[in-house]
Amino acid sequence: MNAPRSQYLIKGVSVLGRGKTDLLIRDGVIAEGSAKDAHVIDADGLVALPGLVDLHTHLREPGREDAETVETGSRAAALGGYTAVCAMANTSPVADTAGVVEQVYRLGREAGLVDVQPIGAVTVGLAGERLAELGAMATSAAQVRVFSDDGHCVADPRLMRRALEYVKAFDGVIAQHAEEPRLTEGAQMHEGEVATRLGLTGWPAVAEEAIIARDVLLAEHVGSRLHVCHVSTAGSVDVLRHAKARGVKVTAEVTPHHLLLTDERATSYDPVFKVNPPLRTAADVEALRKALREGVIDIVATDHAPHAVEDKECEWAYARPGMLGLETALSIVLDVLGLGAGNVPAEERSDEAGRRRHPGPRASGASASGYSDDWDLIAERMSRAPARIAGLAEHGHDPAPGAPATLTLVDPAARRVVDPSDSASRSRNTPYAGMTLPGRVVATFLRGEATVLDGKAVK
Ligand SMILES: NC(=O)N[C@@H](CC(=O)O)C(=O)O
Ligand SMILES: [Zn+2]
Ligand SMILES: [Zn+2]
C-alpha cells in the first residue's frame, strides 16, 4: 500500500492571471471541490502556472560535483518554479552512453525535486568525430529524445546530417550549440565596439548565424527536427524567421541573460559576465525580445551553467564561460515582459531607486504573440512549448481540474534582491547579484507533492 499523499487546497489563486479559483490537489492531480483535511494555502495575489520546464540545464554530475549535483541543481530548479529540467551531456564522463544517461536519470528520481530528463551527446566524448550510441540512449530507461554536444558545436556538416537523420526514427531532436569554431578561436566576448575598446578577441555574430543557416537547410533536406540552443543575435532571428516561413521543423531558445544583459557588462572585467554565446548588443537584446513574443523563438531556456569559484574568480581570459539561471529565470522574464520595460532598458534599472514601479505582466489585451496575455505567453514559452519539444507528456499542462498537479505558484508583486549566497546551487556565479528582481516563487508541486512551500525547498 502506498502511503496516503498530502492534499492541498490552494485558495483564491489566479490561474494564468485570470480570475480567482480554488484548486484541490489530491492523488497527484488537480481535482474540483474541497477537502476537510487538506493543507490550505492562501493564494490571494498568487498566479498559478504550469510547472516550468527547462530544456537546457547543466547539472555537472557526474564529474564536477563541486560545482553542482543533480540534487542541488534540482533544488535550485524547484525554487525557480521548475518541475522538469533537461540535463546537458557535457559531464565527465560525457553522457554519451545508455549507462551515463541512466545514472543521471536515476539520480534525478532519487532527488525527487524535479523530473530530470537527460540529454544525450551527439558525438562520442563531444569530440565531433563519430556519432554516439543515440539508439541505445533512446531505448534506455532514460528514454532520451534530445541530443546535444552543447558546449561544443557539431561543426562537421556530414555528422550533423547523420545525427538529424538518425533521430527521426524515434522523433528525436538535435539541439545545436551554434558556433562555427573556426570563427571563434580565442574569442572572449562579442565582436564589436566594446571588444575593440577593451582589446579582447571577438566572437562574431556570424559564427552563430552561419551554423544556424546551415543547420536549418540540413534539417529541411532530411525532414528532421532541429532545436537551436541559446540564440543570441538579431541575425539569427532573421535566419529562424525565414526557416520557419519555409516550414522547416526548427525550434529555438533564448536565455534570460541574453534577454536582459549586453556586452557593456564586460567593461567590468568581471568573469561572471563571461558566457557562451557572449552577451551581445542592445539591438540584439531588442530583437530577441521581439522574437520571443512573436514565437520566432519558441522558448526560454536557462543554460544554467554553475562553475566552481576557482573557474570564475580569476582573470577574464582564464574564466570558464557560463552563468547560473534556474532561480532567477522567471523573474528575469517577468522583468523583460513587464510594462515599461520597453522604455527603460531593464539593465539600467539595477537598483530599487532606478527601477520603475513594476506593474507586472499585462493581464489582458492583444499582443503580437497571439497569446491572450503575458501570463499565457510565459506558460507557453517556459512550460508548454519546452515540454512539447522534449516530449515530456506529464509537463506543460495548465492548472485545471483533471490535469496533473505539476504547477508553480508565483507572487508577481514581490521584489527581491539577488544574493548569491542565498542560492540553492553549489555555485555562486549569478550575474544578477545585488539586482532587485520582480516576482517570487511561493510553491511548486510535482505530481501533487510539494517541492517548494513558502518559498522554501521542502527537502
Ligand atoms: N553557456 C556557457 O557559457 N557554458 C556552458 C556550455 C554551453 O552552454 O555552451 C557550460 O557548460 O558551462
Ligand atoms: Zn552552448
Ligand atoms: Zn549550455
Q: Note the pLDDT tens digit of each residue in 41-85.
A: 999 999 999 999 999 999 999 999 999 999 999 999 999 999 999
Q: How many structural domains does the chain have?
A: 1
Distance CA 420, CA 426 (A): 10
Ligand 1 pocket, CB under 6 A: 58, 90, 150-151, 177, 275-276, 303, 305, 320-322
* In a domain? residue 451: no
Q: Which ligand is nearest to the CA of 90?
A: 1
* In a domain? residue 10: no
DSSP 3-state of 261: coil
How many angstroms does the Cα of residue 357 sit away from the middle of ligand 3?
Answer: 33
Judged against a pLDDT cut of 90, whether residue 292 lies above it is answered with yes
**Which amino acids are annotated catalytic?**
303
pLDDT at 344: 36
Distance CA 175, CA 338 (A): 29
Judged against a pLDDT cut of 60, whether residue 1 lies above it is answered with no
pTM of the model: 0.94
The average pLDDT across 281-285 equals 98
* In a domain? residue 177: yes
CATH code, 313: 3.20.20.140
172 annotated ligand binder: no
How many angstroms does the Cα of residue 149 sit away from the middle of ligand 3?
Answer: 9
**Which atom of ligand 1 lies nearest, measured to the CA of 151?**
9
β 47-50/8-15 pair status: parallel
Distance CA 72, CA 80 (A): 12
Q: Which helix (H) or strand (E) holds 20?
A: strand 18-26
Which residue, by CA, sits nearest to atom 6 of ligand 1? 151
Confidence class of residue 367 from pLDDT cuts 50, 70 and 90? low
How much is the mean pLDDT over the chain?
93
Judged against a pLDDT cut of 80, whether residue 368 lies above it is answered with no
Please, what sign has the CA dihedral across residues 267, 268, 270, 276?
A: negative
* In a domain? residue 86: yes
349 annotated ligand binder: no
pLDDT at 337: 87
Distance CA 139, CA 157 (A): 26
259 annotated ligand binder: no
Judged against a pLDDT cut of 80, whether residue 256 lies above it is answered with yes
Distance of CA 34 to the CA centre of its chain: 34
**Which atom of ligand 1 lies nearest, measured to the CA of 307?**
12
- Comparing CA positions, the residue from 58, 147, 144, 57 lying closest to residue 101 is 144
Angle between helices 98-111 and 70-79 (to 10 degrees): 50
Residue 48 CB neighbour total at 10 angstroms: 26
DSSP 3-state of 174: strand
Q: Which domain holds residue 345?
A: 50-396
* In a domain? residue 435: no
Residue 342 CB neighbour total at 10 angstroms: 13
* In a domain? residue 421: no
* In a domain? residue 172: yes
Ligand 1: which of 148, 154, 276 to mutate, most ligand atoms within 8 Å of CB? 276
* In a domain? residue 267: yes
The cell for 126 is 563531444
Judged against a pLDDT cut of 90, whether residue 92 lies above it is answered with yes
Distance CA 13, CA 21 (A): 5
Confidence class of residue 301 from pLDDT cuts 50, 70 and 90? very high
2 annotated ligand binder: no
